[in-house]
Structure 1
Amino acid sequence: MKLQIVHINSERGSEPYFEMFNRTMERVKRPDTELLHRWAKLRRATDVVYAYPYLLNGVAVLHELTEAAETEDIDGAMMACTGDPGLVEARSLLDVPVVGPWEATLHTAATYGYKFGVITVQEKGWQEYCHSLVVKYGLEGRCAGLVGIDISSYDAFSRGFTEPDFVVEEVAKQAQRLVDMGASAIAVGSAGLSTIIADAGLNRVPGVDVPIFDALTVGVKTLEMRVDLTQKAGLPVMGRSGLYTRFEPEEAKRVRYQCGF
């Protein structure tokens, strides 16, 4: 199967990140799964900890997904961002399964423990956004707590991709903190942090059987399952009777033109 992944960081300058990402995906994806890559317009992933660039980047992600669905023979699509930018809109436009890695990870974590905890970046704005999605996805009552790492995003996502040990140690420390708060599963609410810990093999809290989920792995594996459920079990791509009612391609082109895209 061919899965389209849209990244929120630029292709150039992010080589260490993609090396880590590709190593993880080669390890976890099915042998017959091919990942296709596109990149949104922003040049700094750290921009999206702010609401305005996050909104604009969500539109860019959505347009990349839409163009891929129109021009490539893809079986499914995912945005490589734990803010799930453009998820609802993409599901209304694309006629293939679309997975938001954060939605998938939160629901997966909830099947591993009655209470899960969330680790994300240091910036308060993104912490609150991650929590707002916990609420949006109906899992607030299952969340034992949300904590940020004690490292700036600048340090974590620059030096952390070439010297990852200090980031891995910090995530492990915060995971133990969440276990002490009552969490039996940990969800990492950052694509960058997810990539670093997955490449390092940090998949459980040291010394205790509490899983730590990197969102991109869960997203891709969930997308593989969703494609199988459509292609092999005959289930529809989405439930089209409500929020994800199909917005037909010709109407989408009209709206894009009217809005100057």
Structure 2
Amino acid sequence: MGKDVEAEFTAKDYTDPPPAPLIDAEELAKWSLYRAVIAEFIATLLFLYITVATVIGYKHQSDPNVGGADAACSGVGILGIAWAFGGMIFILVYCTAGISGGHINPAVTFGLFLARKVSLIRALLYMIAQCLGAICGVGLVKSFQKAYYNRYGGGANELSSGYSKGTGLAAEIIGTFVLVYTVFSATDPKRNARDSHVPVLAPLPIGFAVFMVHLATIPITGTGINPARSFGAAVIYNEDKAWDHQWIFWVGPFIGAAIAAAYYQYVLRASAGKPLGSYRSG
């Protein structure tokens, strides 16, 4: 009886899947790769269209020159903008996770690449698709809201007055760390192992992380934590103030993603050396 229990226990133990190859040229001949790239493009397009349209709509509704003295109480407010970003990530990750993994963010792709979850070729194609999708999504907003788009800043990220570049960079690093850390935690296959007691719908905590980070950093940088989001808005708006600190919205997220990948893989998961072969302590 004791042997049967021991055998069952061992069978349910968890083994990490092998890391993705650094360069997998064979992927280029597979339709699944291009289907995933298309999914990332469309998802990022929809993400930017909905979220930037929400930002422009709120700024118009709360404009005192348009709505009068009570205009400040009109529209969705910062809370609504944060919900728009977090809610769309929840929806789009849910829809695309089974096809592309639902990255929708070059920083997420970069973090997963560092953790060897995706190959270099896939990571580069994803990032290109995400940036192109962001440009097209913001382009749709501009075409549909010509009267308001430029007047209200095009939904572009910029460093708010009163904050230093260092503060803005730190906000982007920490915000992206929270997001990518959540991505690793929510998608960890260990959660399906025998000793996991945390059932989770992965898109939910990821979307909620985006929501929470927006609440904290909208007043500082408008919240980037997604280089494609910042780049797409800057390309279509194309004003100096959108480009002045664009580097913050690339350097910050990439650093935050790298720190999150290292922390999760080598501290929480102890990938460099599993203690006693047990995940219960990892």
TM-score computed with the length of structure 2 as normaliser: 0.27
Give the structure, 1 or 2, with the largest relative contact order (CA under 8 Å, sep 6 or more): 2
User: In terms of Rg, which structure is larger?
Assistant: 2
The structure with the greater share of residues assigned to strand is 1
The structure with the greater share of residues assigned to helix is 2
TM-score computed with the length of structure 1 as normaliser: 0.29
